[in-house]
Homo-oligomer: A and B are copies of this chain.
C-alpha cells in the first residue's frame, strides 16, 4: 500500500476520492547510496516517506557541509520551505543507503489542498508535529553541551549510530569529528 497514504491516515480520515487522488500523484523513486533527492535551489518534492533506506539533509556553510537531520524508514518528511513559501530549499537531501521513497510534489500537494479542503486537517496536524520536533531540536542546541546533545541522540535515535559515520553525526551535533571521538571515549 502507498506509504504516504498510510502516513496521512495517522492524522485523519481520507475518503475514497481523496485517497485515489493522493495515489495518482504519488511517485516512487529508487535511489542508490550517494545520490541526491533534492539539491539546494530546487523545489522538487514536498512530502515524502522513506520506505527503505536512510537519508540526511545538509546545507553548506562556508563551503562546509552541515547535517541538519537524518531520516529513517517510515517517517514522513517535508521540505517545509518549498511547501509554504514556494521558495527553493536551502537544504540538500542525500541518500546514505540504497533507498526507496514515495513522494508528492509541491504543486500536486497544493492542488490537493485546493480540491480536497479536508486534507488541510491532516496538513495542519503534520505541520504542528513538525513544529514540536523542531522546538525540541532548538532546546537541544540552545541549552545542551556537546556531551549532552550526544547523549540525547543516543536516547532518541540509537540505531543511527550504527548506520552513520562519525563525521556526519559530529556535523549534526555541531561539533568536530575529533571532539565527538573524544566524547565517546
Specify which chain B residues have a CB less than 8 angstroms from the CB of A81 in the assembled complex. 132, 135
A61 at the B interface (CB under 8 A): yes
Q: Given A134-B138, A138-B134, A141-B141, verify A121-B117 contact (CB < 8 Å).
A: yes
User: Residue of B at shortest CB range from A124?
Assistant: B124
A103 within 8 A of B: no
Q: Tell me the chain A residues, 70-119 only, with Cβ under 8 Å from chain B.
A: 80-81, 83-85, 113, 117-118
Q: When the two chains form their complex, are residues B121 and A113 in contact, meaning their CB atoms are under 8 A apart?
A: yes
Q: Which residues of B contact A59 (CB under 8 A)?
A: 139
Bound Cα distance from A178 to B80, whole angstroms: 37
| B132–A130 CB distance below 8 A | no
Q: What are the 10 tightest A-B residue pairs by CB atom distance, in nearest-first order? A: A127-B127, A124-B124, A134-B134, A141-B141, A120-B120, A84-B128, A123-B124, A120-B121, A80-B131, A61-B143
- Residues of A at the B interface (CB closer than 8 Å) are 59, 61, 66, 68, 80-81, 83-85, 113, 117-118, 120-121, 123-125, 127-132, 134-135, 137-139, 141-143, 174
